[in-house]
Structure 1
């Protein structure tokens, strides 16, 4: 499904197709009259903490307006648990924001509500995006979604618990069998949750895809057809059921266990191993947990593919502020501004320039292992309009595949039927 090409060439072609000789970011004016852009964004700060993203966006908006006095930006930041619904409600009320930074874009693109990226950004900014992330923002080969920040995953493990269980604290498991053996040793040592398996609603699509990739499967094949019930995926979930859940190595019912619940337990020292993204490092370090990281274990060795996740920005057509929104987005993705956000929250940039800077910044050395995996990362099929409904079904049902007495083949068959029905029901996006 992933297609490699030179983004700069593609961007140039798109610009020519739209008949634009200079995109908005290259202009020297803000359009006619005073315009206030409405921005809705997600909060990446810690729950209850003092590092809300509101502060970042307000500071950035003020700096932008100083350079563009005819354009102001009204900022509204919401938690991840509510931001997608806030935007959906605004769209339903025919009052969409000009710019949104949320979790998904394909539904809005399919409804013809979004500007194409080629209508918004200057060509140098378009060409600066990491290719795999830019491609993940496409619907039928046209880019509507702007990646904002990204992450990959690593296996996290508690070094002290490994030592207590007689395991080498510098040698995390690399295969499923090694993972099983480590979980057994941790359980015998009295660890409450030897392996954290969050297949509850919060993290199910990510944890599911990590396991699929580690077993040689995925959600879709190379041409985008759903393969949820492939033989490889059925074998993977059968192995999880029989070798992790049934022996009691997960400590909890995976179908009812959310990611944050396990992240919190890891910080308390109650979890031996789990898959995690970069923000888990911050949580562990605040709680003085001695942790290590390793590649995701695979069936016969470290997983060759890794889950990549991106959050998205988009600009809505409804208010007609294409040029102003484009100017603002060009400003958002300037190397200094984009790097400031990624660095603030220990997240991975989505542009080549900011990624290069992070690789040179030793303060973020612990992030380099995550960055190194982007070249082989695979992303959710977010460009498929059917993914929203499919993802919702995965959140609700996939955990039942690995419960004691569960039937992985039956559950995955049901999810496959749901995905195919969603695919059939969704219409082609507006061009």
Structure 2
């Protein structure tokens, strides 16, 4: 999962005491008077994001330009900050009392920023415009803390299964009938495996190519490790069974083979799915753009993740980003107005079509999915449909760093250093202790 964002945020709490580390060229250094107005009498809104490459840069600049022309009271000034820098600099600016007015931030840590008084409460403004109805329940809830809104969802993602239709045909499988359960996933993978002597020329499927164990743990139990009340559910029989299932896959192929394949994945253009040496893989919908860039000739299909058992609802995981007003902004209402514009149906649809991001506005996502063509249309529409079964994992305010306790134990299990029972019991106790300490 993309939990590196949260690590950056934790480090940012330390760096925040170092003062206002504003980016070079930030609009706060220029044309505003003491009331935040420029020489034309317009209020300047400072907007920070990490969108610096095409097509995102071109698209956000178009939206900003359209907004600036749509009214004569506010002008938005855009600053690009590199991924990894933006969150620490945002926290430092908040601590220094000189924040941006709008910033794009991680959705799963929104509640944590609300708790720590790092984002403005925009509940009344959002309720007045009835923004809640524009987004899925999962995305809207992830943008809150204790019922108060601290950000408006901008985009999201979800994990889905990509499969090579030509490989299916070669193995005698119907390319229009992908696996629906974990049992079928194993059966299909065995049929798709291709060996020459002791060497794998093609691996049918390995569940930890593209995602971590947590995706499969949540697929099985349909919930995060920690609920809203602080109850920890790590050491369960369902999770033990899932870790044993993952270990069985690893034992089948062997660590040497899997490490060689993983090295190819890490090289991007050498991705084994691109050359057909892996037949199925779990990725988010944006993988379709990589296939367009590096493997145009692959005939692939896209489907939701198989469910653990027949008749059981499958579950996927997603992340995403919100547009929020950092605490201390001197132009909260004007900043919110721009956020409302940024997340309306028209601009969200434009963003989706230009960038292939899965946008948070549900009507815009549906419309964008219908306007795409070919395999990309299938991938995007599958992602849109899959949001109904996609959960988010907002950082628990009682245990914001819980993954530092869980992930090493999952690694220990996969490396054979601990049994699933031992590793999950240790993780359970450690996280319970963390929740108890933080609640005190």
TM-score range, shorter chain: 0.7 to 0.9
Partner of 2:357 in structure 1? 347
User: Aligned pair in 2 of structure 1 residues 93, 252: CA closer, same or farther (>3 Å)?
Assistant: farther
| Secondary structure of the structure 2 residue equivalent to 1:100 | strand
Query: Is the contact between residue 398 and residue 439 of structure 2 (CA under 8 Å) also seen in structure 1?
Result: no
User: Aligned pair in 2 of structure 1 residues 262, 98: CA closer, same or farther (>3 Å)?
Assistant: same
| Secondary structure of the structure 1 residue equivalent to 2:274 | helix
| Secondary structure of the structure 2 residue equivalent to 1:266 | coil
Establish whether residue 411 from structure 1 lines up as the match of residue 416 from structure 2.
no
CA shift digits 1:84-118 (9 cap, x unpaired)? 34434444555432211122323321111212232
Partner of 1:336 in structure 2? 346
User: Aligned pair in 2 of structure 1 residues 385, 358: CA closer, same or farther (>3 Å)?
Assistant: same
Q: Quick one: which of 279, 282, 287 aligns to 1:272?
A: 279
Establish whether residue 75 from structure 1 lines up as the match of residue 81 from structure 2.
no
Shift of 1:419: 3.2
Partner of 2:187 in structure 1? 181
Aligned residues: 386
Partner of 2:45 in structure 1? 37
Q: Quick one: which of 281, 291, 299 aligns to 1:290?
A: 299
User: Aligned pair in 2 of structure 1 residues 44, 394: CA closer, same or farther (>3 Å)?
Assistant: farther
Query: Is the contact between residue 101 and residue 326 of structure 2 (CA under 8 Å) also seen in structure 1?
Result: yes
Q: In 2, Cα distance between the equivalents of 1:423 and 1:68?
A: 48
Q: Quick one: which of 382, 385, 389 aligns to 1:376?
A: 389
TM-score under structure 1 normalisation?
0.77
Establish whether residue 57 from structure 1 lines up as the match of residue 60 from structure 2.
yes
Pairwise mapping of residues 75-154 of structure 1 onto structure 2 (< 5 A)? 75-91=78-94, 94-103=97-106, 104-121=109-126, 122-154=128-160
TM-score under structure 2 normalisation?
0.76
RMSD of aligned residue pairs (Cα, Å): 3.3
Partner of 1:311 in structure 2? 321
Structure 1, unmatched stretches of 5+, are 1-29
User: Aligned pair in 2 of structure 1 residues 228, 222: CA closer, same or farther (>3 Å)?
Assistant: same
Partner of 2:7 in structure 1? none
| Secondary structure of the structure 2 residue equivalent to 1:114 | coil
User: Aligned pair in 2 of structure 1 residues 216, 319: CA closer, same or farther (>3 Å)?
Assistant: closer
Query: Is the contact between residue 109 and residue 139 of structure 1 (CA under 8 Å) also seen in structure 2?
Result: yes
Q: In 1, Cα distance between the equivalents of 2:438 and 2:101?
A: 25
Q: Quick one: which of 304, 308, 326 aligns to 1:299?
A: 308
Shift of 1:340: 0.9
Q: In 2, Cα distance between the equivalents of 1:273 and 1:240?
A: 16
User: Aligned pair in 2 of structure 1 residues 172, 114: CA closer, same or farther (>3 Å)?
Assistant: same
CA shift digits 1:163-188 (9 cap, x unpaired)? 34444333322222222233333333
Shift of 1:236: 0.5
Q: In 2, Cα distance between the equivalents of 1:149 and 1:403?
A: 35
Which entry has the higher C-alpha Rg, 1 or 2? 2
Partner of 1:357 in structure 2? 367
Query: Is the contact between residue 381 and residue 387 of structure 1 (CA under 8 Å) also seen in structure 2?
Result: no
Partner of 2:435 in structure 1? 423
Q: In 1, Cα distance between the equivalents of 2:338 and 2:160?
A: 34
Q: In 2, Cα distance between the equivalents of 1:342 and 1:374?
A: 15
Q: In 1, Cα distance between the equivalents of 2:239 and 2:83?
A: 29
